[in-house]
Each structure stands twice: as C-alpha cells, then as structure tokens.
Amino acid sequence: MHTEIGAVIPKSLDELSHDEIRRKTLISKIMTRTLNYLTNELVEQDFEWLLPVVFSKMTDPLWPDPGASIEKRIEVEIYGETVRTTASMIIHKMFASSLAFPKLFILSPNVRIEKRERQGTGRHAYEFTQLDFELRNGSSKQVFRLVEGLICGLVKNLRRTSKEELSELGTFPELRVPKSPFKVHDAEKLKEKNGSDWETKLAAVIDEPVWVTNIPREFYDFQDFEKDSWDNYDLFVPKYGEILSGAKREFEYEKISKKIERDGVKRESYALLLKLAMEGRLKPSAGGGIGVERLVRWLVGAKHIAEVSPFPKVPGLVHEL
C-alpha cells in the first residue's frame, strides 16, 4: 500500500521481508544510541528522570492548536472515576517542576487518535513517544541553548559511533553537525509570507534546524497580551518539519483562568491546576517535548514515521501488535 508522499505504509514486524528487517534493525540501532545519548546528557546536566503515567483525570487538552486533528479522545472509567490516556505530560510537568523537581525529563507515550486522513502524511502516528523536559524558572533562551547542545552533540556522536549504519541507511553524507545558535523565525511572519502551508514550505527550504516562535495555541503556553505575542517555539528540521514543541509557561491564576474560558476548555478538567495557581504554588517554567520518532526519522531518512517504530501505529490502521 502506498501513500500520497510515496512512502509504503509500514507493515507489521511479522510481514517484513529479510531486507526490511535489516533496515528495521539499522534504524533501531540509531534509536538506541539516540535515547542513550539524550538521556545520559540530561542526567549529566542534573535533570531528574521521571517515569510516565498512562491514565489521569487531567491531560493536555490539545486545543486550540492549529495542528491538532484528533478523531477521538480515549476516556475510560476506573474505580468509578473517568480518566483519559496521556495526550502529553505537559500538565504533569507543570506540577512536578513547580512542586518537587526543578529540572526533569520523562520519556512518555502519547496517545492521539489522529484522523485517518493523516495516514499518509508520514509524520503522524496515533501512539508516539515524547522526550519531555521542563525547567523551573526557565526561559526560551535557556531551552534553545539546551536543545541546540543536545541536537548538535547527538549528530556529532552518531557520526562517530554509527557511520556504518547511517551510510547503509543513506543519511551519513548529508547529516552534518548543525551550526548553533539555530536561526529563529516568527510564525506570524511566515504565515503572512507563505500562507497557511508555511510549515511544509519552511521544511522544504531550510538546510539546518531552525526555531519558529510565536505560535497561537494551548492555554499553558505563555502569551504576552500587551505585545500580542506568544513566548513559545517549535523546532523544525530540513525536509521533515517539526520535531519539538515547547514554551515558557503561564503560571498566574488570572491569565490561566481567562485563557481556559476564552478557549472553551472545560474548567472542571483543570480545577487542580487552577487551585495550585490560585495558591501561588504554580511556578514559572519553560520546557518542551522532542518527538522521539520524528527525531529519528530525520536522522535515518525514513519516509514514514512508522518505519522507526517496532510496532507502527499508523492513523486508520490497527495491527494485532
């Protein structure tokens, strides 16, 4: 089966040919070394490594987000209470960084039942993993430097440790250590210049990773009402587009409350967050989440994101495993 981007929809492990298994194992080597490198770096830099959650009453509303396309939210009842599967651990990160862990990261599974039309985009899976991190009292600048260090260090490390694998996968020659600091673009300006399709166009013209800031989206990202701008960011890589999103966070009760109201998000769902903010216990922070499969897709040059997963979760397709 082929998709609009010419990628073959990845098959289940048991359906792969000998050559396809070979490719899968090469990609897996890069995934292993990527996870090893990034987690080691963060631990070295004094980040606490937290374990993820699956069910909670509070999770990311993923709304309003121009990029969101959720067909269904998974809600189940346990012990007489309704809980949702994790869409992202953003709310948990805000609690954890405020109350206990000033520098933290989590490798967390995110469940987002994307619309079937996204089956062939090559960039969407209905289950994926974020390397999510948060810094109490952090700023965008700090996050930029942290991530630039991680990405440049990772590429350098892989070029040294994985020359054979990357050469066989075909990305070794073009996968260069990027120059930092990365360039910064304003999303509103990109939209003005390139129209609503700015993300695809940007990915097609860049040859190094770039930051995009000022993206209107969920209530927890910091918004400067006076300047009418957002202190948030996405990281784009050449050809493949966005691989990380993050922000400086809102922490003041009045602003969070107003934005929840404005966005039509259910207030009851975020009652505990509002309470924490009201009591002044929610602290300013900044952070982000790297889409692990998207990062590795770029490193190995995979047409479809599901190629980098052992058990692909392609929108619209449900395999046995």
CB of 88 to ligand ASN, least distance (A): 4
* Nearest position to ligand ASN, beta carbon: 289
Q: Which residue's CB is nearer to ligand ASN, number 128 or number 198?
A: 128
CB-nearer residue toward ligand ASN: 34 or 171: 34
- The site map against ligand ASN for 43-62 (x = CB under 6 A) is -----------------x--
**Cβ contacts of residue 140 below 8 Å, gap of 6+?**
213, 231, 232, 233, 247, 248, 286
The 206-245 site mask, x for binding ligand ASN (CB under 6 A), equals ---------------------------------------x
C-alpha span between 307 and 6 (Å, rounded) = 14
Q: Measured between alpha carbons, how far is 171 from 15 in angstroms, rounded to an integer? A: 25
Q: What angle do CA 13, 17, 19 make, to 5 degrees?
A: 110
Pairing of strands 103-111, 48-50: parallel
Task: For residue 213, count other CB atoms closer than 10 A to its CB.
Answer: 18
Query: In the bound complex, what is the minimum distance in angstroms from residue 246's beta carbon to ligand ASN?
Result: 4
Interface region with ligand ASN, contact rule CB under 6 A, candidates 13-21, 184-192, 260-268, 285-293: 285-293
Pick out residues in 101-130 that bind ligand ASN (CB under 6 A).
130
Contact between 199 and ligand ASN (CB under 6 A)? no
Judged on CB neighbours under 10 Å (0-12, 13-18, 19+), 258 is middle
Q: What share of the chain is helix, strand, coil (3-state, %, to 5)?
A: 40, 25, 35
CB of 287 to ligand ASN, least distance (A): 5
Binding residues (CB under 6 A) for ligand ASN: these are 60, 88, 90, 130, 132, 245-247, 287-289
